[in-house]
């Protein structure tokens, strides 16, 4: 109980930071891959380089940040303290980064042995992470929709990783698998059951907190995670018994659950009490608009499957949901979390003997706003490139690499300023002590 409230029990800053600082580099890599490979990468959703780029983003960027942020957040929202958070962070960060590089390399060069190695390394890493977090969460009752959502999301992570390993090992060893159906299911669990449910669980806490909105209404927030997971279980069953109509029905369920959550969040934010639109709230609006578009595409395609065969359709859907939706939410949250954690650690370092520099001295609003403009431009170029890859694939990839690199630079500068202020505070404290 007391452990939950005390700052002393918070994980060290270095634990989440190492994830936050490595993740944007993988997004840069994904952008560069698109720029180098060019138009061919947009040929279909099945090109090896397309798969490599997708996993550089979903595993290299999204999963890194989600796992790192959870290490920080589990003690605060669920009272679940991880044993040795720093050690876990180091091992998971290295395992994940190595695994993603192997996976992307395996796809790009078409080397089965490397794909196998990637599947095993990623599987082991996530297994370790799940073991540590589930141990911390064991005995924590689900007293809030956030805690319930976190537990279900971790279950979703277990499923998406198992399916991913099956697919990678199947590809590497030439197993006879229904690749298309399993890949769709793998993506659905990854984006819906893991990322989507986790996003909702976090949104229940951070949307009211950062933007001073009213709280999420209780009933939909309790219902969203189990509904999403039930729709996905139904989808899995449908793939197992090979009933395409049930796949489409579950797809519609997933899309509707997502839409309800997104529209609810948008409504809360439109009625927020804060006058100022900062980078975080603008990133949320961008993310919500893009996700709503993507989820509308998903539900129309569930009703009219022929639409998904249109050229560009799957790519635009993926770009809107992953890069427009999830990445925008994540970047928006990073822009609050990193400066706040820096302030919190500086504040504790001052031992209340002097004021700590505030959040905007660690990371200023103009830097975030400029990066966001670059990100929006990259996003528009990528969507356009799905229709005119011959003209736009390379510029879009390059623009995305620049926007992601800019994010890295912003975060890195914030940490540099944090380090500088830490040293400054230590020096001033020492001087004060010497003067006594």
Partner 1 sequence: MTSIRTFMTDDHRRCDDLFAETELAIAQKNPDAARAAFGHFRSAILAHFDSEEKTLFPTFEAKMGSSLGPTQVMRMEHAQMRSLLDEAVGALESGNADDYFGLAETLLIMMQQHNMKEENILYPMCDEHLSGELPAILERLETELAES
**168-176, 187-195, 301-309, 341-349 -> range binding partner 1 (CB under 8 A):** 341-349
151, 336, 394, 421: which one contacts partner 1 (CB under 8 A)?
A: 336
Nearer to partner 1, 67 or 356 (CB): 356
Using CB under 8 A as the binding rule, whether residue 5 contacts partner 1 is answered as yes
Nearer to partner 1, 30 or 207 (CB): 207
Using CB under 8 A as the binding rule, whether residue 4 contacts partner 1 is answered as yes
Q: Give residues with Cβ within 8 angstroms of 5, minimum separation 6.
A: none
Site string for partner 1, 265-284 (x = CB under 8 A): --------xxxx-x------
Least separation in angstroms between CB 138 and partner 1: 19
Residues between 344 and 363 that touch partner 1 (CB under 8 A): 344, 347, 352, 355, 358-361
CA distance 200 to 153: 10
212, 237, 310, 423: which one contacts partner 1 (CB under 8 A)?
A: 212
Least separation in angstroms between CB 359 and partner 1: 5
Nearer to partner 1, 255 or 411 (CB): 411
Using CB under 8 A as the binding rule, whether residue 141 contacts partner 1 is answered as no
DSSP string spanning 284-331? HHHHHHHHHHHHHHHHHHHH-GGGGGSTTHHHHHHIIIIIIIIHHHHH
Residues between 50 and 79 that touch partner 1 (CB under 8 A): 76, 79
DSSP string spanning 171-188? HHHT----HHHHHHHHHH
Pick from 403, 417, 405: nearest CA to 360: 417
Nearer to partner 1, 12 or 87 (CB): 12
**152-160, 163-171, 187-195, 337-345 -> range binding partner 1 (CB under 8 A):** 337-345
Largest separation between any pair of C-alpha atoms in the chain? 79
Least separation in angstroms between CB 407 and partner 1: 20
CA distance 68 to 82: 12
Angle at 193 between CA 190 and CA 195, to 5 degrees: 60
Nearer to partner 1, 212 or 310 (CB): 212
Nearer to partner 1, 176 or 273 (CB): 273
The burial of 230, by beta-carbon neighbours within 10 Å (0-12 exposed, 13-18 middle, 19 or more buried), is given as: middle
Residues between 187 and 206 that touch partner 1 (CB under 8 A): 205
Nearer to partner 1, 313 or 340 (CB): 340
Q: Give residues with Cβ within 8 angstroms of 44, minimum separation 6.
A: 50, 314
343, 375, 400, 406: which one contacts partner 1 (CB under 8 A)?
A: 343
Site string for partner 1, 142-171 (x = CB under 8 A): -xx---------------------------
Structural contact between residues 145 and 218, judged by C-beta atoms closer than 8 angstroms: yes
Instruction: Determine the 3-state secondary structure of 299 from DSSP.
Output: helix
Q: At residue 354, what are phi and psi to the nearest 5 degrees?
A: -160, 160
Neighbours of 242 (CB within 10 A): 10
**222-230, 289-297, 325-333, 335-343 -> range binding partner 1 (CB under 8 A):** 335-343
Residue whose structure tokens are 């971790």: 154
Pick from 70, 66, 93, 65: nearest CA to 82: 70
Element holding 164 (H helix, E strand): helix 145-173
Q: Which residues bind partner 1 (CB under 8 A)?
A: 1-2, 4-7, 76, 79, 143-144, 205, 208-210, 212, 273-276, 278, 336, 340, 343-344, 347, 352, 355, 358-361, 365
């Amino acid at each position: 109980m007391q452990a939950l409230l005390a700052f002393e029990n918070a994980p060290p800053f270095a634990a989440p930071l190492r994830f936050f600082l490595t993740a944007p580099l993988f997004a840069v890599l994904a952008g560069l891959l698109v720029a180098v490979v060019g138009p061919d990468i947009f040929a279909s959703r099945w090109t090896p380089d397309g798969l490599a780029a997708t996993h550089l983003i979903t595993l290299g960027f999204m999963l890194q940040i989600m796992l790192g942020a959870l290490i920080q957040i589990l003690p605060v929202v669920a009272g679940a303290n991880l044993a040795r958070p720093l050690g876990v962070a180091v091992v998971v960060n290295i395992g994940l980064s190595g695994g993603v590089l192997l996976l992307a390399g395996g796809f790009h060069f078409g080397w089965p042995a490397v794909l196998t190695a990637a599947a095993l390394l990623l599987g082991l890493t996530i297994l370790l992470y799940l073991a540590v977090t589930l141990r911390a969460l064991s005995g924590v009752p689900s007293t809030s929709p956030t805690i319930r959502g976190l537990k279900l999301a971790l279950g979703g992570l277990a499923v998406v990783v198992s399916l991913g390993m099956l697919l990678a090992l199947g590809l590497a060893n030439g197993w006879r698998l229904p690749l298309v159906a399993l890949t769709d299911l793998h993506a659905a669990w990854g984006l819906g059951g893991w990322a989507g449910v986790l996003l909702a669980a976090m949104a229940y806490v951070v949307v009211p907190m950062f933007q001073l909105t009213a709280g999420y209404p209780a009933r939909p927030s309790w219902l969203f995670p189990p509904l999403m997971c039930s729709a996905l279980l139904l989808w899995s069953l449908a793939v197992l018994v090979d009933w395409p109509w049930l796949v489409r029905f579950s797809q519609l369920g997933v899309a509707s659950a997502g839409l309800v959550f997104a529209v609810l969040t948008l409504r809360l934010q439109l009625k927020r009490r804060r006058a100022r639109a900062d980078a975080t709230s603008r990133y949320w609006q961008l993310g919500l608009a893009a996700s709503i578009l993507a989820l509308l595409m998903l539900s129309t395609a569930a009703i009219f499957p022929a639409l998904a065969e249109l050229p560009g359709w799957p790519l635009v859907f993926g770009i809107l949901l992953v890069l427009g939706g999830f990445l925008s939410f994540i970047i928006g949250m990073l822009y609050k979390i990193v400066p706040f954690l820096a302030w919190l650690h500086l504040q504790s370092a001052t031992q209340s003997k002097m004021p700590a520099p505030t959040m905007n001295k660690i990371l200023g609003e103009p830097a975030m706003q400029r990066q966001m403009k670059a990100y929006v431009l990259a996003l528009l170029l990528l969507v356009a490139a799905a229709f005119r890859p011959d003209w736009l694939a390379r510029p879009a990839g390059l623009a995305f690499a620049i926007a992601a690199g800019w994010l890295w630079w912003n975060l890195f500068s914030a940490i540099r300023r944090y380090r500088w202020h830490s040293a400054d505070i230590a020096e001033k404290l020492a001087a004060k002590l010497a003067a006594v």
